[in-house]
A and B are shown apart, each in its own frame.
Chain A
Amino acid sequence: MHLTLEFGGGLELLCKSVKFHNVNVDLPKGADKLSMRDLLAWVRTNLIKERPEMFMKGESVRPGVLVLVNDCDWELSGQLDTTLEEKDVVVFISTLHGG
């Protein structure tokens, strides 16, 4: 499945400072849908090059990271259970900054 991922608010530093990624994610074995849960695991393995604890905590994102699926807050579409479709755009923005 082809998706566009964007990292902002400082998270891009975990992916070698690349903000936009056009990716092709395989569906998990035996599944007919791709969920955010699956995508997060895929991102952690394939895109996060350092300090994974800054991006994820457990099976979800670290508290303080905003997730938008097609410009809509994922809390409205079921968070981890949100299903993704071809050409969807997923944005991860860290809201934690400042000193």
Chain B
Amino acid sequence: AGGGSGPVGSAAEDGGPPAPERVLFPPTFSVSEIKNKQRRHFMFLRWKQQQRKEKLAARKKRRKEREALGDKAPPKAVPKTIENQRVYDETTVDPNDEEVAFDEATDEFAPYFNRQTVPKILITTSDRPRGRTVRFCEQLSTVIPNSHVYYRRGLALKRIIPQCIARDFTDLIVINEDRKIPNGLLLSHLPDGPTAHFRMSSVRLRKEIKRKGKEPTEHVPEVILNNFTTRLGHSIGRMFASLFPHDPQFIGRQVATFHNQRDYIFFRFHRYIFKSEKKVGIQELGPRFTLKLRSLQKGTFDSKFGEYEWIHKRREMDTSRRKFHL
């Protein structure tokens, strides 16, 4: 082992100045070269303890230095988080971007944002919904104002959509169910708008949430959209915003939140109360669920011939843990 790791050791430690050819290094060995598992494990633990001790000592030293310097100490190092280390996405929207503003003024949601249309939503499920899905649909319809739940008895979506357009619906939500729990959400903006397909997870119905609130009232809630930074995120955010009527009734004190974090969109529905100008209390009522975008399609629902603006391709997009798309 000593002879084998001799050249290895010299190659590893051949750092800064060009070393002469004949150099004598002490025979080092790495822990992973020991064949006996028990001994190897023991040596590894010992090495780990040593590392920890060194780290602790370094931290103490740094703290002492900081205290010694007092005010002149360098600022604390910011810990690295995944959000800090996020790979910069070139489609991030700059708030002052004119091109984006122009695009948004002329896309499918423009009539909504210009207050020409009032949202009217149809919520439906896949075939034969089970109890949980049915209850979830009902609760969702209380959360979203001006929404209606209809059961689909084997009707094809492509046939429903023209009927919905004829009856002035602006949005269609289809909740897909699998094994008695809802697991997918299809959101389609009706008059020829984009269709977004989400995977839905961790659905909590109202009675499963630990809160002491009452049912949500009929007031129009406010909407909070957090962290939708890229172009794609922007368009999805606008889709969500177009579900709710434009003028929230502040008397109701209800707020629906869509918070995007690492490509997961968390939906929460709260009632808030301002205890003072610096403190607000929130009480969760209403269902909660998380969504993950799977695909965004340009026209209304058409899985075969539709033009997809974005599809989640696992092999290409899930390669880096620091890269997010929304």
Are these two chains actual partners, yes or no? no
